[in-house]
Protein backbone atom coordinates (compact mmCIF):
# COMPACT_ATOMS: atom_id res chain seq x y z
CA UNK A 1 0.00 0.00 0.00
CA UNK A 2 1.39 3.42 -0.97
CA UNK A 3 2.12 6.07 1.63
CA UNK A 4 -1.01 8.06 2.45
CA UNK A 5 -3.27 5.48 0.79
CA UNK A 6 -6.25 4.32 2.84
CA UNK A 7 -7.40 0.73 3.00
CA UNK A 8 -10.95 -0.01 1.89
CA UNK A 9 -13.42 0.02 4.74
CA UNK A 10 -14.42 -3.34 6.18
CA UNK A 11 -17.93 -1.89 6.52
CA UNK A 12 -18.09 -1.20 2.80
CA UNK A 13 -19.41 1.96 1.21
CA UNK A 14 -22.61 3.84 1.94
CA UNK A 15 -24.15 5.99 -0.79
CA UNK A 16 -26.39 8.71 0.65
CA UNK A 17 -28.46 11.16 -1.39
CA UNK A 18 -29.30 14.59 -0.04
CA UNK A 19 -26.19 14.79 2.16
CA UNK A 20 -25.61 18.55 2.08
CA UNK A 21 -27.94 19.19 5.05
CA UNK A 22 -30.44 17.71 7.47
CA UNK A 23 -31.07 13.99 7.81
CA UNK A 24 -28.66 13.03 5.02
CA UNK A 25 -25.85 15.00 6.63
CA UNK A 26 -26.43 13.24 9.95
CA UNK A 27 -26.46 9.82 8.25
CA UNK A 28 -23.09 10.67 6.70
CA UNK A 29 -21.54 11.64 10.02
CA UNK A 30 -22.92 8.63 11.87
CA UNK A 31 -21.80 6.17 9.24
CA UNK A 32 -18.34 7.72 9.04
CA UNK A 33 -18.08 7.22 12.80
CA UNK A 34 -18.91 3.55 12.23
CA UNK A 35 -16.15 3.21 9.65
CA UNK A 36 -18.10 3.28 6.39
CA UNK A 37 -16.58 4.80 3.30
CA UNK A 38 -19.05 7.26 1.80
CA UNK A 39 -20.45 8.50 -1.48
CA UNK A 40 -21.97 11.91 -0.77
CA UNK A 41 -24.66 12.91 -3.26
CA UNK A 42 -26.33 16.32 -3.50
CA UNK A 43 -26.50 19.41 -5.71
CA UNK A 44 -24.38 21.70 -3.52
CA UNK A 45 -20.85 20.56 -4.31
CA UNK A 46 -19.15 23.08 -2.03
CA UNK A 47 -20.93 21.67 1.01
CA UNK A 48 -20.16 18.11 -0.03
CA UNK A 49 -16.45 18.81 -0.40
CA UNK A 50 -16.29 20.51 2.98
CA UNK A 51 -18.07 17.57 4.56
CA UNK A 52 -15.86 15.04 2.78
CA UNK A 53 -12.69 16.71 4.07
CA UNK A 54 -14.11 16.85 7.60
CA UNK A 55 -15.11 13.19 7.71
CA UNK A 56 -11.94 11.88 6.08
CA UNK A 57 -9.79 13.76 8.58
CA UNK A 58 -11.85 12.78 11.60
CA UNK A 59 -12.47 9.11 10.84
CA UNK A 60 -9.84 7.97 8.30
CA UNK A 61 -12.50 6.91 5.81
CA UNK A 62 -12.92 7.70 2.12
CA UNK A 63 -15.58 10.24 1.22
CA UNK A 64 -16.35 10.52 -2.47
CA UNK A 65 -18.24 13.59 -3.73
CA UNK A 66 -20.87 13.03 -6.39
CA UNK A 67 -22.60 16.26 -7.37
CA UNK A 68 -25.98 15.38 -8.84
CA UNK A 69 -29.45 16.77 -9.40
CA UNK A 70 -31.69 13.72 -9.20
CA UNK A 71 -34.40 15.38 -11.27
CA UNK A 72 -31.97 15.13 -14.22
CA UNK A 73 -31.91 11.93 -16.26
CA UNK A 74 -28.15 12.12 -16.82
CA UNK A 75 -27.35 12.77 -13.15
CA UNK A 76 -29.71 9.99 -12.11
CA UNK A 77 -27.87 7.59 -14.41
CA UNK A 78 -24.51 8.56 -12.90
CA UNK A 79 -25.79 7.96 -9.38
CA UNK A 80 -27.27 4.61 -10.40
CA UNK A 81 -23.97 3.55 -11.95
CA UNK A 82 -22.26 4.30 -8.64
CA UNK A 83 -24.99 2.53 -6.68
CA UNK A 84 -24.22 -0.61 -8.67
CA UNK A 85 -20.60 -0.57 -7.45
CA UNK A 86 -19.18 -3.75 -5.93
CA UNK A 87 -18.12 -1.93 -2.78
CA UNK A 88 -21.62 -0.68 -1.94
CA UNK A 89 -23.06 -2.11 1.27
CA UNK A 90 -25.63 0.56 2.17
CA UNK A 91 -27.87 2.77 0.03
CA UNK A 92 -29.82 5.62 1.64
CA UNK A 93 -32.37 7.35 -0.58
CA UNK A 94 -32.94 10.57 1.30
CA UNK A 95 -33.04 13.49 -1.16
CA UNK A 96 -36.35 15.32 -1.36
CA UNK A 97 -38.32 18.50 -2.00
CA UNK A 98 -41.70 19.62 -0.67
CA UNK A 99 -43.73 21.14 -3.47
CA UNK A 100 -46.50 22.06 -1.05
CA UNK A 101 -49.32 23.90 -2.80
CA UNK A 102 -52.94 23.29 -3.82
CA UNK A 103 -52.76 20.69 -6.56
CA UNK A 104 -54.77 22.81 -9.04
CA UNK A 105 -52.26 25.64 -8.65
CA UNK A 106 -48.85 23.97 -8.36
CA UNK A 107 -46.47 24.23 -11.32
CA UNK A 108 -46.60 20.98 -13.36
CA UNK A 109 -42.83 21.17 -13.79
CA UNK A 110 -42.43 21.06 -10.00
CA UNK A 111 -44.77 18.08 -9.83
CA UNK A 112 -42.64 16.20 -12.36
CA UNK A 113 -39.47 17.04 -10.42
CA UNK A 114 -41.06 15.84 -7.19
CA UNK A 115 -42.07 12.51 -8.72
CA UNK A 116 -38.63 12.02 -10.23
CA UNK A 117 -36.91 12.80 -6.94
CA UNK A 118 -39.17 10.88 -4.55
CA UNK A 119 -40.23 7.92 -6.72
CA UNK A 120 -38.11 7.38 -9.83
CA UNK A 121 -34.69 8.17 -8.31
CA UNK A 122 -34.96 5.90 -5.24
CA UNK A 123 -36.61 3.12 -7.23
CA UNK A 124 -33.91 3.06 -9.89
CA UNK A 125 -31.05 3.45 -7.39
CA UNK A 126 -32.48 0.50 -5.47
CA UNK A 127 -32.73 -1.49 -8.69
CA UNK A 128 -29.10 -0.68 -9.43
CA UNK A 129 -27.82 -1.61 -5.98
CA UNK A 130 -29.90 -4.64 -5.03
CA UNK A 131 -28.63 -7.35 -7.43
CA UNK A 132 -25.04 -6.86 -6.28
CA UNK A 133 -26.04 -6.86 -2.63
CA UNK A 134 -27.91 -10.12 -3.10
CA UNK A 135 -25.00 -11.68 -4.99
CA UNK A 136 -22.52 -10.62 -2.29
CA UNK A 137 -24.84 -11.70 0.52
CA UNK A 138 -24.56 -8.34 2.22
CA UNK A 139 -26.28 -4.98 2.16
CA UNK A 140 -29.09 -2.71 3.23
CA UNK A 141 -31.31 -0.07 1.67
CA UNK A 142 -33.01 2.75 3.57
CA UNK A 143 -35.69 4.91 1.97
CA UNK A 144 -36.61 8.10 3.78
CA UNK A 145 -40.35 8.75 3.54
CA UNK A 146 -42.60 10.75 5.88
CA UNK A 147 -45.54 10.32 8.22
CA UNK A 148 -47.46 12.32 5.61
CA UNK A 149 -47.57 9.02 3.72
CA UNK A 150 -50.32 8.07 6.16
CA UNK A 151 -52.23 11.37 5.97
CA UNK A 152 -54.58 10.70 3.06
CA UNK A 153 -57.71 11.11 5.19
CA UNK A 154 -56.61 14.48 6.63
CA UNK A 155 -57.58 17.65 4.69
CA UNK A 156 -55.24 20.66 4.42
CA UNK A 157 -54.95 22.92 7.45
CA UNK A 158 -53.23 22.37 9.70
CA UNK A 159 -51.32 19.98 7.42
CA UNK A 160 -50.03 21.45 4.15
CA UNK A 161 -51.48 20.96 0.69
CA UNK A 162 -49.54 17.85 -0.24
CA UNK A 163 -51.38 15.57 -2.67
CA UNK A 164 -48.32 14.69 -4.77
CA UNK A 165 -45.78 14.79 -1.93
CA UNK A 166 -47.86 12.52 0.32
CA UNK A 167 -48.62 10.24 -2.61
CA UNK A 168 -44.93 9.93 -3.44
CA UNK A 169 -44.05 9.13 0.15
CA UNK A 170 -46.85 6.55 0.21
CA UNK A 171 -45.19 4.94 -2.80
CA UNK A 172 -41.92 4.68 -0.86
CA UNK A 173 -43.68 3.04 2.07
CA UNK A 174 -45.49 0.45 -0.05
CA UNK A 175 -42.49 -0.11 -2.32
CA UNK A 176 -40.19 -0.76 0.62
CA UNK A 177 -42.61 -2.98 2.52
CA UNK A 178 -43.31 -5.08 -0.57
CA UNK A 179 -39.63 -5.30 -1.44
CA UNK A 180 -38.93 -6.48 2.11
CA UNK A 181 -41.13 -9.47 1.34
CA UNK A 182 -39.12 -10.22 -1.79
CA UNK A 183 -35.76 -10.21 0.01
CA UNK A 184 -36.97 -11.99 3.16
CA UNK A 185 -34.66 -14.91 3.88
CA UNK A 186 -31.65 -13.15 2.36
CA UNK A 187 -28.97 -11.18 4.26
CA UNK A 188 -30.16 -7.93 2.63
CA UNK A 189 -32.29 -5.60 4.74
CA UNK A 190 -34.64 -2.87 3.54
CA UNK A 191 -36.21 -0.14 5.64
CA UNK A 192 -38.48 2.84 5.16
CA UNK A 193 -38.12 5.52 7.81
CA UNK A 194 -41.13 7.79 8.33
CA UNK A 195 -40.27 10.84 10.41
CA UNK A 196 -42.80 13.43 11.45
CA UNK A 197 -41.89 17.11 11.50
CA UNK A 198 -38.11 17.35 11.65
CA UNK A 199 -35.97 20.40 12.42
CA UNK A 200 -34.07 20.73 9.13
CA UNK A 201 -33.54 23.30 6.39
CA UNK A 202 -36.28 21.46 4.47
CA UNK A 203 -38.78 22.58 7.13
CA UNK A 204 -37.17 25.91 7.91
CA UNK A 205 -35.64 24.61 11.13
CA UNK A 206 -39.12 24.20 12.61
CA UNK A 207 -39.09 24.58 16.40
CA UNK A 208 -40.63 21.86 18.50
CA UNK A 209 -39.79 19.25 15.86
CA UNK A 210 -37.66 16.13 16.26
CA UNK A 211 -33.97 16.59 15.57
CA UNK A 212 -32.45 14.90 12.52
CA UNK A 213 -30.01 13.23 14.92
CA UNK A 214 -32.89 11.41 16.63
CA UNK A 215 -34.38 10.42 13.28
CA UNK A 216 -31.10 8.82 12.23
CA UNK A 217 -30.64 7.15 15.61
CA UNK A 218 -34.05 5.50 15.30
CA UNK A 219 -33.36 4.43 11.72
CA UNK A 220 -30.03 2.78 12.45
CA UNK A 221 -31.27 1.07 15.62
CA UNK A 222 -34.37 -0.11 13.76
CA UNK A 223 -32.24 -1.42 10.90
CA UNK A 224 -30.15 -3.48 13.32
CA UNK A 225 -33.38 -4.90 14.78
CA UNK A 226 -34.77 -5.78 11.37
CA UNK A 227 -37.60 -3.21 11.37
CA UNK A 228 -38.96 -2.61 7.90
CA UNK A 229 -41.06 0.41 8.93
CA UNK A 230 -39.34 2.84 11.31
CA UNK A 231 -41.38 5.68 12.83
CA UNK A 232 -38.92 7.53 15.08
CA UNK A 233 -41.51 9.15 17.37
CA UNK A 234 -43.94 6.22 17.65
CA UNK A 235 -44.09 4.65 21.11
CA UNK A 236 -46.66 1.96 20.21
CA UNK A 237 -44.77 -0.38 17.92
CA UNK A 238 -47.94 -2.45 17.48
CA UNK A 239 -49.39 0.36 15.34
CA UNK A 240 -47.58 -1.18 12.38
CA UNK A 241 -49.27 -4.51 13.07
CA UNK A 242 -52.61 -2.68 13.27
CA UNK A 243 -51.90 -1.17 9.85
CA UNK A 244 -51.28 -4.64 8.43
CA UNK A 245 -54.57 -5.84 9.90
CA UNK A 246 -56.43 -2.89 8.38
CA UNK A 247 -54.92 -3.67 5.01
CA UNK A 248 -55.99 -7.29 5.33
CA UNK A 249 -59.51 -6.05 5.98
CA UNK A 250 -59.43 -3.95 2.81
CA UNK A 251 -58.21 -6.91 0.77
CA UNK A 252 -61.33 -8.81 1.74
CA UNK A 253 -62.95 -6.78 -1.03
CA UNK A 254 -61.18 -8.99 -3.57
CA UNK A 255 -64.25 -11.08 -4.42
CA UNK A 256 -66.10 -11.95 -7.62
CA UNK A 257 -69.40 -10.69 -6.21
CA UNK A 258 -70.56 -7.11 -5.76
CA UNK A 259 -70.79 -5.90 -2.18
CA UNK A 260 -74.35 -5.72 -0.90
CA UNK A 261 -74.07 -1.99 -0.20
CA UNK A 262 -73.71 -1.31 -3.93
CA UNK A 263 -76.69 -3.38 -4.97
CA UNK A 264 -79.28 -0.67 -5.58
CA UNK A 265 -82.50 -0.92 -7.60
CA UNK A 266 -80.81 1.02 -10.35
CA UNK A 267 -78.39 -1.79 -11.17
CA UNK A 268 -80.36 -4.82 -10.04
The dihedral through the CA atoms of 226, 231, 237, 238 has a sign that is negative
3-state secondary structure (DSSP) of residue 196: coil
3-state secondary structure (DSSP) of residue 43: coil
The residue ranges of DSSP E strands in the chain, in sequence order, are 13-17, 37-42, 63-67, 88-93, 140-144, 189-193, 229-230
Residues labelled as active-site residues: 165, 169
Say how many C-beta atoms besides its own lie within 10 A of residue 218's C-beta. 20
Cα distance between residue 150 and residue 255, in whole Å: 26
DSSP 110-132: HHHHHHIIIIIHHHHHHHHHHHH
DSSP state at residue 106: S
Helix axis angle for 22-33 and 45-59, nearest 10°, is 20
Amino acid sequence: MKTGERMASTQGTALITGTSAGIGLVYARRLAERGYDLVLVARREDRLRTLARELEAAHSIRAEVLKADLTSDEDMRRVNQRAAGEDLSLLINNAGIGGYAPFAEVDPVLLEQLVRLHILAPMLATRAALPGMLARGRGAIINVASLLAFSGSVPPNPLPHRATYAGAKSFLVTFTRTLAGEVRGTPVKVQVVCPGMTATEFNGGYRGAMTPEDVVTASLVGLERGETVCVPGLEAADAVAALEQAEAGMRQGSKPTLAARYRTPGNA
